[in-house]
Amino acid sequence: MDRLIDDRRTRIIVCCGSGGVGKTTTAAAIGLRAAERGRHVVVLTVDPARRLAQSMGLTSLDNTPRLVEGIGNGNADPSQHGSLHAMMLDMKRTFDEIVEAHADPDRATQILANPFYQSLSSSFAGTQEYMAMEKLGQLRRADEWDLIVVDTPPSRSALDFLDAPQRLARFLDGKLLRLLTAPAKIGGRAYLRVLNAGFGMVTGVLTKILGAQVLRDVQTFVSALDTMFGGFRERADYTYQLLRAPGTAFLVVAAPEPDALREASYFVERLAQERMPLAGLLLNRVQRSPAARLSAAGSQAAAETLTANGAYPLAVAALRRHAERMQQVSAQQRLAEHFTAAHPVVPVAEIPAQAEDVHDLAGLRAIGQAFGA
């Protein structure tokens, strides 16, 4: 991990994985460690827990990077000091900004007020993934940082992160929306007559289902969008290429549990298929024991002997707990070995389970020390 972080050619690190495995935590920890090792870093977080966000000074959701206070600088030479900025993605604001940047003011106002646009920009499945990519593109173009660490949205599946932007783009560029707006764009009269007959029928049905107002909203939105810029698909393609560019590194984050590791396997294969640069697997919340020399079986046997003697109830409870912990440790080791057997070339770094949730810079630093060392 430190080699990756210290390599000045690394410009983007993307932390992805299935829900709840520690993407946000590891993205923040990587950002902090890189900054404290001298890099100028911005971390794009998507859904930080409130206390974690506060500890990084992210108290308002204003969609711009903020300087994080309290970064340690080990190097005596100030010119070698790094810095950390952090931001929380505001999905709707990012979408609004695209509209504002590409449409003339009247048209922008019209789009922003459109009810279809409003629900699309705040709740459509895939919008968050798309906007995370959009924001990444913007940060990269701003060129103010030498390393961008990206957290990814809390999707159920890790693959959503790769698929959702394309899905949204397909929807926005897609046949359904084209059809709805077709009459507004076709010139020839005869064609128009023919088309209108069929189109009238389709819109008739859709009007019944969606209601006339919704349909009108969609139509005005799409025709406004269309004149605005070259299509969402092209935009999605641009960021997709950015992800493939040299200097980008993917880290797949997983918990040492069957589901998370299965998901991680799919994701690793998918990245390979798409020729995206995978740096490795971060195995997070790995169970360890400070008394690993006492085996599960030994601990269990000792507990039974003591129970038979009817003595030391506290020691019995501790021995039982230790036996459980050791079983967990070996189950996790087996899972990790299984992953490595399937993907022998993927490097794995481990992060031990911390005693508490990670909600401040000290906690993030501890995580960084664990994967850095």
The entry of Mg ion, ligand ADP, none near residue 358 (CB within 5 to 8 angstroms by kind) is: ligand ADP
The entry of ligand ADP, Mg ion, none near residue 49 (CB within 5 to 8 angstroms by kind) is: ligand ADP
The entry of Mg ion, ligand ADP, none near residue 271 (CB within 5 to 8 angstroms by kind) is: none
The entry of ligand ADP, Mg ion, none near residue 180 (CB within 5 to 8 angstroms by kind) is: none
Piece of 21-29, 108-116, 205-213, 337-345 that binds ligand ADP (CB under 6 A): 21-29
Interface with ligand ADP in residues 247-286 (CB under 6 A): 284-285
Q: Is 88 near ligand ADP (CB under 6 A)? A: no
Q: Is 22 near ligand ADP (CB under 6 A)? A: yes
The entry of Mg ion, ligand ADP, none near residue 285 (CB within 5 to 8 angstroms by kind) is: ligand ADP
Q: Which is nearer to ligand ADP, 104 or 357 (CB)?
A: 357
Q: Which is nearer to ligand ADP, 225 or 358 (CB)?
A: 358
Residue of 133, 351, 361, 364 that binds ligand ADP (CB under 6 A) = 351
**What is the 3-class SS of the chain, one letter each residue?**
CHHHHHCCCCCEEEEECCCCCCHHHHHHHHHHHHHHCCCEEEEEECCCCHHHHHHCCCCCCCCCCEECCCCCCCCCCHHHCCEEEEEECCHHHHHHHHHHHHCCHHHHHHHHHCHHHHHHHHHCCCHHHHHHHHHHHHHHHHCCCCEEEEECCCCCCCCHHHHHHHHHHHHHHCHHHHHHHHHHHCCCHHHHHHHHHHHHHHHHHHHHHHCHHHHHHHHHHHHHHHCCCCCHHHHHHHHHHHHHCCCEEEEEEECCCHHHHHHHHHHHHHHHHCCCCEEEEEEEEECCCCCCCCCHHHHHHHHHHHHHHCCCHHHHHHHHHHHHHHHHHHHHHHHHHHHHHHCCCCCEEEEECCCCCCCCHHHHHHHHHHHHC
Smallest distance, Mg ion to C-beta of residue 151, A: 6
**Which chain residues interact with ligand ADP by CB under 6 A?**
19-25, 49, 154, 284-285, 351, 353-354, 357-358, 367
